[in-house]
Amino acid sequence: MCSLNNVIFMQFYKPSWKKITELCSDVADRVVESNFSPDLLIGISRGGLVPVRLLSDYLGVKNVAIIRIEFYTKVGETKTNPEITQPLSVDVSGKKVLIVDDIADSGNSLLTAKNYLKEKGASEIKTATLHYKSSSLIKPDYYSEGTTAWVVYPWEKEETEREIRE
């Protein structure tokens, strides 16, 4: 259960849908400027689902796959270790891959995904998020904004509010 004490002192940031499209566009620009041309985008489910679709559009990369990694159980609460609960259904061997998530918070999910893709034989792996916290174990190769707040994205608003009430 998420205690009110854990949540009461959190600073929340709630970007709008318009802001999300701006952040994704910015990340896409950074990928293009770096001359990285991924063969495949991999979204970390669930937070990376919307950003990976938008980046697919902005970058013109139609090959998109999903990996589900469960780590957060509630607002501010995690499992001991991230767990891959939906492995990839595509072959990544020899491919340049861009892993996409909404935020590099603890960095555990990104690190888990990156290590998993290395084991699967991806030739080059880069990471992209909308937001980055400096306390993350991994700094994304591409991100739009740094933050210290707990970000509540439009696609998780109801879920987050439910968890805070519980």
Task: Give the DSSP letter string of 30-73.
Answer: HHHHTT---SEEEEEETTTHHHHHHHHHHHT---EEEEEEEEEE
Percent of the chain with pLDDT over 90: 77
User: Minimum mean pLDDT among 25-39, 59-73, 76-90: which range?
Assistant: 76-90
* Candidate ranges 62-66, 83-87, 155-159; pick with highest mean pLDDT: 62-66
What CA dihedral angle connects 40, 41, 44 and 45, to 10 degrees? -100
pLDDT tier for residue 9 given thresholds of 50, 70 and 90: low
pLDDT in the model for residue 158? 85
Residue 13's pLDDT is 92
**φ/ψ of residue 97, rounded to 5:** -120, 140
Which candidate, 114, 124, 115, 74, places its Cα nearest to that of 94?
124
Confidence of residue 2 (pLDDT cuts 50, 70, 90): very low
- Tell me, what's the pLDDT at 73? 65
Range in 73-77, 94-98, 130-134 with the lowest mean pLDDT? 73-77
Q: How far apart are CA 60 and CA 91, in angstroms?
A: 20
> CA-to-CA distance for 128 and 102, rounded, in angstroms?
8
Helix, coil or strand: residue 120:
coil
The residue with tokens 């259904």 is 89
Could you tell me the pLDDT band of residue 1, with boundaries at 50, 70 and 90? Answer: very low
Name the average pLDDT for the chain.
Answer: 91
